[in-house]
Structure formats: C-alpha cells, structure tokens
Structure 1
Amino acid sequence: MNKRFALITDIHGNMPALRAALHEIDTLHDVDFICCLGDMIGIGPDTNEVLQSLFARKNRFFVSGNHDEAVLAIIKGNAYPKSHFHSKRHHEWIAERLDKSFVPLLESLPRMIQTEVTGKSVMFTHYHIANDKRFEPISEDPFSPIVEPSLSNLARLFEAHKESLIAFGHHHPVHYFRNDRQVFINPGSLGCNNKSTARYAIVTAGAQGFEVQLKEAEYDNSAFLASYAKLDVPDREFILRVFHGNQLKE
C-alpha cells in the first residue's frame, strides 16, 4: 500500500509562507504525515506563530536545525557557535521573544530520524552530520560544510548512509537527485526565497520506489517583508537582501 508524505524545511520564522504551504498540503494532497527538516526559527520574526502551528499538528516528524539549536543555546546559557557570530545579535532578538513553553519541545527534537516507509529505509535530517559529531553541541559546529548540489557530491557526502531516500534541508536551493539505489531530496527553503512562493515536496512511497513532486505555494509576502522594519528586526537589511532577494525594493 502506498504512503504519501510532505517534506518542508527551513521555514525560518515565515508564518505566511508556512500557512500557504500547509493549506495546499492539507487541501490538495492526502498525506499520511508531514516532516519538517529543521530551521523552523531564525531569520524571520514569526517565531511563536510558526512553532504553534507546527507543534499543534498530528502525524508529524521534526528534526532540529542549526538555527533552532543556536537560539536554544542562547536561551540555556550554553556556548554559542563561533561560526554563527554574524547571527548572534539576531538570534538573541529571537530568543528574547520566543515563548519559553516551546523550549522543551525544541530540546526534544532529534537531529536524525531513520525509519521505514512501506518497507523502504528513509532518513530525515537537517543536513549531514559525521557519526562522531552526531551528539556534539551546536557550539562545535557538528553539521558538515555545505556541498554544491549534484548527485556525485551528495552521494559522497552521505556515503555512510544506505537509506533508499535521504531528505534534508539547510542549503536553501532545491535539490533532487537519484540513482539506481538512492533518492536525495531537499525541497528548498520554505520561508526564504527571492520570490513569493513557499516551497515543499510531496513524496509517494510505493512498491516501485519513491515518486517526488516539487511544489511551490504562492502567497502575498508584502506584509511579512514590511514587518522587518516595523519590528526593528536586527540585521534586517542583510536578511532582506540575502534571504529574500531584496523584494521590497522591486
């Protein structure tokens, strides 16, 4: 019997984008579960709205991302990753406003889920982590350096993993590569895009393997982009330029 699931990742505090994607997932696709591949918060200001929407859902799998863990490190008074020094002021702003009832929920998230769907092995993770770094704190930068999207690069990066489907995020562009043994899929950042669409993927697992549909839900992002100035979000000029393609200036 086939099973269908949705993949979302890198929402980055963008509630209008999440709302648009979830609306399509819930109304157009009959999914058995939804998986969020990390970085629910950070960059965008809608921290509590995003977490409320996600954690209220049933039939879900979530893994943690580097932004989620960096914000948690600040809240808990733990060491902050030196590699994220440029984001610290912004993460402090996010941490100050995060509803602390979400802290234990974020802390409970694994970095990796290895399971089976219709008898086929699947791995959900934010990005590759070497086995000897799997339980290191975020201050030690456990996630591997990003590689350029290609089948050969991803096969090499995940060569220790034999799962039939490897789903991940972290790198914001869409990745979709497959060979005769494995499928590598990153649906692309849902919340950070240079146009007003929220990216996600629908995966159908059946006897013949995995069928992947890459989707984009259109939405009005004008109020969201304007909220950066309204809320006086730290580093907003950099964020709007790098993560949202300077759409406000168009």
Structure 2
Amino acid sequence: MEKKIAILTDIHGNHSALKTVLEQIDKAKEVEHIYCLGDLVGIGYETNEVLELLFSHDNISFVLGNHDEAILDIIAGRQPYSKGKEKAHHEWIASHLNPKFISYLSEIPTTLNAKYNGKELHFTHYHLNGQNEFYSVDKEPTEMKLDELYRTSTADIVCFGHHHVIHHFKTKERLYLNPGSLGCNLKPLAPFAILSIGECGEINVSFLEIPYDNKEFLLGYKTLNVPDSDYILKIFHGNQHLKYL
C-alpha cells in the first residue's frame, strides 16, 4: 500500500499559516504521519498558539531547530547562539513561552529516522557536523555537496529545513528534500510537501502552497512591540504589512 507523509518545517511562530496547513492535511485524510523539521518558534510571536496546536496532534513527530534550541538555552540559563538584536528577540520569545511547553520542547531530538515501504528516511533541521552542530546555510547547494555531507548515511531520503527555500535534489545515492519555510514567506502562502512512497519503493513529491489570511499576524508585530520587528517584517515577510497600514 502506498504511504503518504507530510513534511513541514520552519513554522516560526506563525499560527495562522500552521492552522491552515493542518486543516488542509486533516481534510485530505490520506496522510498517515506528519514530520515537523524544527524552528517551531522564533521570528514569529505566536509561540504558545503554535505549540498548543502542534502538541495537540498525536500524528506529528519533531526534530529540534536552532531557534527552538536558542529559546531552551535562554530558559535554562545557558548562552544561546544568538547575539545582539536576535538574542533580544529570543529573550522576548522565551519570556512569553508558557512553561507547560518547556518539557515538550526539551524532549525533541536533533534527528529522526523512519522507514516506509523499504525506503529509509532521515529527518533533521539542517545538516550537522561531527559535533552535532548545524552547518552554516549553504546558499548554493548542489547534488555533489549534499552527497559528500551524507556519504556515510544509509538513508534513501533526507528531509530538512532551515534554509527557507525549496530543495529538491535527486542523485544516485538519495533524494534530498526541503519544502521551504511554512511560516516565513514573501506572500500570504504557507508551503509544505507531501511525500508518497509506493509499494515498490517509487517516490513522488508534491510541493504545495496554501493561501491564508496573514493580516492580523503581520500587524501583531507592532501591536505587541516584538523586538526587531522592522527587520523581521522586511526580511522574512517582504513588508507585506505595509498594505494594511
């Protein structure tokens, strides 16, 4: 029997986008599991709403993203990777996090593996070095570079996020897949992917973009005085809020 899974990543505290995508997936009733590849929080400010929705589903598995890790570090009194305005933003997010979610976030692993119809899948927020730390974003990825990074992996499919644009690379070794950021987009669209694996191991990928109403979410940055909101609205949302002012 064909297996279908959904791949989501980089929700970044955008509840409106997440709710729209999960409603679409639930309505289809053909996806047997959802994999969420990190950065549940940060950048966007709807932290508790996003986590409430995600953790209320029993068919979602998670890996930890760098923003999630930064928030946990701040809460634990450790120094996060972030500095300057980004650190101030993370401290604001951490201060507004409902404490009931700390244990949930703390239990999220860095990587996950699964198997469907004989195909091995590896899930991570982004590529990791030997110290289990995320590499810097490679803005010019190639099949050759990816194969070198995963030369010791037995996975047939590697799914990741972090870099907010779509990746779809197929080599002799494996398929590499990044559906793009669900919560950060220059248009009111929420992207994700459906991965289908047939009985004989045949693979099909569908990239979807679901339109949603982002007006209230965008205007909320200013209403709530979210730190670094000017930069966030420009870089991650393309100043879409200006049409509502």
TM-score, length basis structure 1 = 0.93
Match of 2:119 in 1: 120
Q: 2:214 aligns with which of 221, 246, 250?
A: 221
Q: Is the 8 A contact 2:167 2:180 kept in 1?
A: yes
Render the CA deviation track for 1:200-229: whole Å, top value 9, x for unaligned. 000011213321000001001111100000
CA distance in 2, matches of 1:156, 1:217: 34
CA distance in 2, matches of 1:28, 1:73: 38
Render the CA deviation track for 1:24-61: whole Å, top value 9, x for unaligned. 11113510100000000000010000001001101221
Match of 1:179 in 2: 171
Amino acid at match of 2:68: D
Q: 1:189 aligns with which of 172, 181, 187?
A: 181
CA distance in 2, matches of 1:63, 1:160: 20
CA distance in 1, matches of 2:24, 2:141: 27
CA distance in 1, matches of 2:216, 2:80: 32
Q: Is the 8 A contact 2:147 2:173 kept in 1?
A: no
Q: Is the 8 A contact 2:85 2:228 kept in 1?
A: no
Match of 1:60 in 2: 60
Render the CA deviation track for 1:68-113: whole Å, top value 9, x for unaligned. 00001001101222x5444100001000000011101101000001
C-alpha spacing 1:80/1:208, structure 2 compared with 1 (3 Å): closer
CA distance in 1, matches of 2:242, 2:17: 20
Q: Secondary structure at the match of 1:133?
A: coil
Match of 2:131 in 1: 133
Match of 2:192 in 1: 200
Identity of aligned residues (%): 44
- How many pairs align? 241
TM-score, length basis structure 2 = 0.94
CA distance in 2, matches of 1:74, 1:245: 29
Render the CA deviation track for 1:111-136: whole Å, top value 9, x for unaligned. 00122112211001000112x312xx
Match of 1:110 in 2: 109
C-alpha spacing 1:174/1:29, structure 2 compared with 1 (3 Å): farther
Specify every segment of 5 or more residues in structure 1 that has no aligned partner in the other structure, as ranges.
135-141
Q: Secondary structure at the match of 1:200?
A: strand
Aligned pairs for 1:1-250 (under 5 A) are 1-28=1-28, 30-81=30-81, 83-130=82-129, 132-134=130-132, 142-147=133-138, 148-206=140-198, 207-250=200-243
